[in-house]
Amino acid sequence: MIEVRDLEKVYPTKERDFVALKGVNLKFEAGEFVAILGESGSGKTTFLNMISGVDAKTNGKIFFNELDVDKFNDAKWREIRNTEIGFIFQRFNLIDHLTVLENVVLPLILTGSDNNVARNIARRLLKEVELEGVEDKLATELSGGQRQRVAIARTIIVNPTIILADEPTGALDSTTAKEIMKLLQKFAAGRIIIMVTHDEDLAYRNATRVVRLHDGETVSDEIVREKNSTTRDLTNRLLSYEARISRRLKRRLVKQYPELEDELVVGKRHMVPMQRKYIPNNPVFTRKIARENYKQKRRINRRILWSFVISISMLLIVNIVMKNITAYNFNLFDINNNYRQYLVTNYEDSSDVITTLEGMDTVDEAALYYEHYVQEMYLVYGEDADDFLPITSSKTTYNKGVFSPKMVSLPEDRDNFYLNSQLIAGIYPRENNNVLVSSEFLLTRFYGYSIESVYNQDYTGTLPKRLDYFVGKSLYICGETLIDGGNDITNDRITDPEGSCFEFVISGVLNSYYKGIDYVGHIFTPNEGFDQYLYHLEYNLGFTRVDEYYDEYVSFYLDDIDQGIEINALSTELDADVNNYELREYQENKSLEDMLYYMYLAIFFSLIIISGTIDINIVSSSVVSRIREIGIYSCIGVSKKSIRNMFVFETVETAIRIVLINSALYVGIAYGFRWLYKYIVVDLTVFEPLFGVNEMFSYEIGFTISVIAGAVVFLFASVLIPSFKAANMRAIDALRSG
């Protein structure tokens, strides 16, 4: 039963309020087929929207089964529209991208009905409305009359107590209109059918009661024929299925349909109606519809997907190219310029200079610094007579500094060592006689193997398999040649404690697989090791003028190189010359790096803005195009939460594809550019299988993860914010917007 008392609906406008309904008093009961007549703007459709909860009234009362609907919230109205009210619209309002069968079973899936039973009932209904054989067609592939039949089948399948038909024949020809009216008459028993129409002939030939509205007021209400049966046939074979009645099933059915209590006999088979329970948030329904939505809306989803994929790929390419090209040049500068080291020269007493420097708050470390060119040396790798390798005279290679070996003292603090990042095997020296040497120096000078692969075609030697092999091996540096009087050079002569050579032990190997580096010939050792070597030359070998063999300075390192120090003032204080010849280049390089960084940011954010604008426009147009669909879901009782979750599931589908596709593209971009990088910057292919390489190439994994994650967040925000707003719209507003 539906009753309205003094029902009013006013739409505020800029000029004046528009009164759509005014003082309407009507009551409808089961078995009535009511036609509401009136010209356009008389309030017919507004009346249907009021009594179905699709739109809100301004004043008056509405009673649904004697319950005051003022106590109904939106969720309650949605439940009623799913279980009690069926809609038939002039524009059909089918979900275009679903098949005919899926459109019909939609309300049943929402209530958790058995899928197979629901589909069987839907097929029977489609046969009844003469649509057998079109179950798998999309709604868009049907004619107007066929679409209206589908809408009727979707309405009837929930076995509603009320059918609201808004101009159900308005878009149909006269022949099809008659067929549609016959279908409505077929399902009229036990139900209230309220049909809005402007066709008087149609109204009087089919309705049991005709109500006429004019300017929102009831001007006539007449009974034209006896009303239909007031009892619904709940065991109608169209809308029921055969089942054996258990006590549990009977309890559930009687609770939902009390009138069946006397008919159902436990233990026997009966035709029974679908057991339906309204589920406000049905995950099965949500996932199924979301999956179908995604599948059927492939075109627009692909536009969204590929707009994001292309945008992300552009960002990844720009980032990995710019970062690695600039990083290579800046890294090359860092490893070729010891700009952290300040040198003091022309001093009187090194101890006084060091003491003064160590007392300064800004100085991290101060010590003597030595440089000494050496020639004769041997790499000893065993105890047998032949277990050593002499230094070779020449071998064409990348970096020519390898032919001018020079001993250089190390800072005590490893963090002050400018090649700290290039230590790829072993450890920083811990013992006085430990040394660090470059990989190219070891391979070229002792094994005669060039990093330029073209020069190794006739190579017959045996290379170690790992750079770690060199760690712990002895490097003997001789103060004078061992070649004398035809005596053979043996391991014993090299390692003789009383001999000419001083033993250093290799503690680590430095990376040198890049063209243009100038430290490959350096042998780095702690100051204590340098002092011991000088002592060996002067006292063990009896060399005179040892101080002429090396250069001595005082070096110091600041806590913060960027903070700097006033060199002229310090020179005056120390009464010496303080220099850092590479500091100016460092500062210029730093300025260039900062400038390139801001250029990179400008390019990066420009791409984000451009691609983001394109992405959000595509996504927004997708959401806007689906607002009518949201209105349809609201009319069949789908909850706001379920509608929101549909968009969440669909967005997750897209997000997963974005992550997978961009991850695959990233791998291709990273390894593709790395391959180019190796041939543009340096060819590492020879040494990778032998040693692996501490290359400067950065895969930018952290940035990639951040960009993809950011894109996914952006996708969710751009889809879910407007879709959540649309889900909260009233059904009438959503239908009008669509």
CATH code, domain with 94: 3.40.50.300
**Residues 32, 85: one domain?**
yes
278 part of a folded domain: no
- Which of 523, 558, 580 is the C-terminal boundary of a domain? 580
Least confident piece of the model among 411-425, 522-536, 712-726: 712-726
57 part of a folded domain: yes
Q: What is the pLDDT of residue 579?
A: 94
**Residues 561, 691: one domain?**
no
585 part of a folded domain: no
**Residues 24, 75: one domain?**
yes
Q: pLDDT by residue (tens digit) across 325-346?
A: 887 778 888 888 999 999 999 9
**Residues 160, 297: one domain?**
no
Please tell me the number of Cα atoms within 13 Å of 210 on its side-chain side.
16
Q: What is the pLDDT of residue 486?
A: 45
Q: pLDDT by residue (tens digit) across 115-127?
A: 888 888 889 888 8
Q: pLDDT by residue (tens digit) across 696-721?
A: 678 889 889 988 998 888 888 888 88
Tokens 């009535």, located at residue: 32
**Residues 681, 568: one domain?**
no
Q: Is the pLDDT of residue 461 over 70?
A: yes
**Residues 646, 725: one domain?**
yes
- Given pLDDT bands bounded at 50, 70 and 90, which one contains residue 12? confident
- Given pLDDT bands bounded at 50, 70 and 90, which one contains residue 234? low
Q: pLDDT by residue (tens digit) across 215-230?
A: 999 999 999 988 887 7
What mean pLDDT do residues 233-255 have? 79
150 part of a folded domain: yes
Q: Is the pLDDT of residue 470 over 50?
A: yes
483 part of a folded domain: yes
Q: What is the pLDDT of residue 415?
A: 94
If one counts the domains in the chain, the total is 4
- Given pLDDT bands bounded at 50, 70 and 90, which one contains residue 499? confident
Higher per-residue confidence, 195 vs 719:
195
Alpha-carbon distance of 164 to 180, in angstroms, equals 14
Q: Is the pLDDT of residue 691 over 60?
A: no
The chain-wide mean pLDDT, for the chain, equals 85
Higher per-residue confidence, 423 vs 731:
423
Alpha-carbon distance of 60 to 54, in angstroms, equals 16
Give bridge partners of residue 68 from the DSSP assignment: 63
What mean pLDDT do residues 470-497 have? 77
**Residues 260, 233: one domain?**
no
Q: pLDDT by residue (tens digit) across 609-668?
A: 887 787 777 777 777 777 888 888 888 888 888 888 888 888 888 889 999 999 999 999
- Given pLDDT bands bounded at 50, 70 and 90, which one contains residue 485? very low
Q: What is the pLDDT of residue 717?
A: 85
353 part of a folded domain: yes
Higher per-residue confidence, 506 vs 448:
506
Work out the burial of residue 188: count CB atoms within 10 Å of its CB; fewer than 13 is exposed, 13-18 middle, 19 or more buried.
buried
Q: What is the pLDDT of residue 118?
A: 86
Alpha-carbon distance of 405 to 391, in angstroms, equals 10
- Which of 227, 249, 273 is the C-terminal boundary of a domain? 273
Q: Is 110 in contact with 284 (CB distance < 8 Å)?
A: no
**Residues 179, 124: one domain?**
yes
Residues above pLDDT 90, as percent of the chain? 27
With H, G, I as helix, E, B as strand and everything else as coil, classify residue 221: strand
Residues above pLDDT 70, as percent of the chain? 95
**Residues 268, 297: one domain?**
no
Q: Is the pLDDT of residue 157 over 70?
A: yes
Residues whose CB is less than 8 angstroms from the CB of residue 681 and which lie 6 or more positions away in sequence, other chains included: 328, 514
Q: How far apart are the first and last CA of the chain?
A: 31
Q: Is the pLDDT of residue 483 over 60?
A: no
Q: pLDDT by residue (tens digit) across 31-77?
A: 999 999 988 888 898 999 899 988 889 999 999 988 999 999 888 88
What mean pLDDT do residues 262-281 have? 80
Q: Is 431 in contact with 505 (CB distance < 8 Å)?
A: yes
Tokens 């529209």, located at residue: 81
**Residues 527, 665: one domain?**
no
Angle between helices 283-296 and 100-110 (to 10 degrees): 160
Q: What is the dihedral of CA 10, 13, 16, 20, to 10 degrees?
A: -30
**Listed residue (554, 528, 552) closest to 353, CA to CA:** 554
- Given pLDDT bands bounded at 50, 70 and 90, which one contains residue 388? confident
**Residues 177, 249: one domain?**
no
Alpha-carbon distance of 417 to 593, in angstroms, equals 22
**Residues 485, 346: one domain?**
yes
What mean pLDDT do residues 542-546 have? 82
636 part of a folded domain: yes
Alpha-carbon distance of 442 to 646, in angstroms, equals 65
Q: What is the pLDDT of residue 266?
A: 86
144 part of a folded domain: yes
Q: What is the pLDDT of residue 367?
A: 95
How far apart, in Å, are the Cα atoms of 223 and each of 27, 42, 204, 259? 13, 21, 10, 29
**Listed residue (158, 280, 301) closest to 643, CA to CA:** 280
Q: Is the pLDDT of residue 496 over 50?
A: yes
- Which of 239, 258, 293 is the C-terminal boundary of a domain? 239
Q: What is the pLDDT of residue 687?
A: 61
Range(s) of the domain holding residue 264: 240-273
Please tell me the number of Cα atoms within 13 Å of 632 on its side-chain side.
23
